[in-house]
């Protein structure tokens, strides 16, 4: 029998998980190394879990969690979509996430809250299974390894709103992302871009998509994508600074003819796109609008922009 294999071609080495002291599990803080779950945990078999990815940043006033309120609300919403009855209310889940950051004493990092169906029955319906709640965190560097990324349209389509609840962040939704990583493994592409069933651009495996044409910012409208919290932030920032932002259907041709393109997401933050399917976007260099948005976002999350302090929860 061969050993379990880890694919690392696309992996940024900074992403290899670094342990922290403690993980919050069902109301208790447990040492990282003692955190276990049964092999017959329902969600492990069927993907019916709900999760979030949240970053916290080093600021002048200590670590600050970015848009914790919105992430907590989406986490609860996604859990409810799966029929989960949570033993904790919004405030308790909010406070628990702050507590884990405090306990682990990190200056910056990533929070991973997860609700999942535990061990009891293995019928798909998860009727009698306990709902488990977990919050971990760890230091995390850049998600995509380069300053600008080369991306490729995946042969897989983005999941459809006719198949699932598209605006919920559900574990099983990420199978397409895993398949696209297999598809790109060993190639020079850094990330996949998914089209929807109408052949319009949807999003990346874990990020939303934007283009810039004649200084106007365009992004796929809601409906076939995860409504990213970073996406909403970028739209707000861009409008605040006078840019026109259009939410609409975007074709691949439109994207290939854009002046600039970038991804947004908690993990990737603002990541400029150099090329799609080996065709440079604009000059293939960092564009003026993307550079401004990227820098402004960086200031916002680090508490350096006085107009957007409202999104920071200081720990």
Ligand X SMILES: Cc1ncc(COP(=O)(O)O)c(C=O)c1O
Residues that bind ligand X (CB under 6 A): 53, 203, 206-208, 226, 228-231, 265-266
In the bound state with ligand X, the residue whose beta carbon lies nearer, of 52 and 260, is 52
In the bound state with ligand X, the residue whose beta carbon lies nearer, of 206 and 282, is 206
Question: Cβ(218)–Cβ(246) under 8 Å?
Answer: yes
**Alpha-carbon torsion 264, 159, 221, 236, what sign?**
negative
Q: Is 85 exposed, middle or buried (0-12, 13-18, 19+ CB in 10 A)?
A: exposed
Q: Among 169, 213, 274, 294, which one carries the catalytic annotation?
A: 169
In the bound state with ligand X, the residue whose beta carbon lies nearer, of 154 and 208, is 208
Nearest to 84 by CA among 42, 45, 37: 42
Q: How far is the CB of 265 from ligand X (least distance, A)?
A: 3
Q: How far is the CB of 21 from ligand X (least distance, A)?
A: 25
Q: How far is the CB of 233 from ligand X (least distance, A)?
A: 8
In the bound state with ligand X, the residue whose beta carbon lies nearer, of 129 and 294, is 294
Q: How far is the CB of 6 from ligand X (least distance, A)?
A: 21
Q: How far is the CB of 148 from ligand X (least distance, A)?
A: 19
Euclidean distance between CA atoms 311 and 299, whole angstroms: 12
Question: Cβ(238)–Cβ(217) under 8 Å?
Answer: yes
In the bound state with ligand X, the residue whose beta carbon lies nearer, of 118 and 206, is 206
Instruction: Transcribe 226-260 into DSSP letters.
Output: ---HHHHHHHHHHHHTT--EEEE--BHHHHHT-SE
In the bound state with ligand X, the residue whose beta carbon lies nearer, of 189 and 209, is 209
In the bound state with ligand X, the residue whose beta carbon lies nearer, of 230 and 271, is 230
306: annotated active-site residue: no
Q: How far is the CB of 51 from ligand X (least distance, A)?
A: 9
Q: How far is the CB of 178 from ligand X (least distance, A)?
A: 12
Euclidean distance between CA atoms 279 and 276, whole angstroms: 5
Task: State the catalytic residues.
Answer: 169
């Amino acid at each position: 029998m061969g050993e379990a294999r880890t694919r690392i071609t696309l992996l940024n080495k900074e992403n290899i998980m670094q342990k922290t002291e403690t993980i919050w599990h069902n109301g208790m803080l447990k040492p990282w190394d003692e955190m276990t779950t049964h092999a017959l945990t329902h969600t492990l078999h069927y993907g019916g879990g709900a999760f979030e990815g949240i970053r916290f940043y080093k600021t002048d006033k200590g670590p600050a969690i970015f848009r914790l309120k919105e992430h907590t609300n989406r986490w609860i919403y996604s859990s409810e979509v799966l029929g989960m009855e949570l033993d904790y209310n919004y405030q308790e889940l909010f406070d628990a996430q702050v507590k884990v950051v405090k306990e682990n004493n990190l200056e910056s990092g990533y929070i991973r809250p997860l609700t999942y169906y535990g061990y009891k029955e293995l019928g798909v319906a998860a009727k009698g299974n306990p709902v488990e709640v977990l919050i971990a965190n760890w230091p995390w560097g850049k998600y995509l390894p380069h300053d600008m990324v080369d991306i490729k349209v995946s042969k897989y389509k983005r999941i459809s709103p006719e198949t699932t609840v598209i605006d919920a962040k559900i574990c099983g939704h990420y199978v397409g992302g895993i398949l696209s990583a297999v598809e790109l493994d060993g190639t020079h592409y850094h990330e996949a871009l998914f089209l929807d069933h109408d052949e319009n651009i949807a999003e990346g495996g874990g990020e939303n998509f934007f283009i810039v044409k004649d200084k106007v910012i365009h992004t796929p409208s809601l409906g076939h994508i995860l409504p990213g919290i970073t996406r909403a932030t970028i739209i707000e920032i861009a409008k605040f600074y006078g840019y026109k932002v259009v939410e609409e259907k975007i074709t691949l041709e439109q994207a290939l003819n854009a002046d600039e393109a970038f991804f947004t997401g908690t993990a990737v933050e603002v990541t400029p796109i150099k090329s799609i399917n080996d065709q440079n976007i604009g000059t293939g260099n960092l564009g003026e609008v993307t550079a401004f948005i990227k820098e402004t976002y960086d200031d916002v999350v680090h508490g350096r922009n006085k107009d957007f302090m409202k999104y920071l929860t200081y720990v």
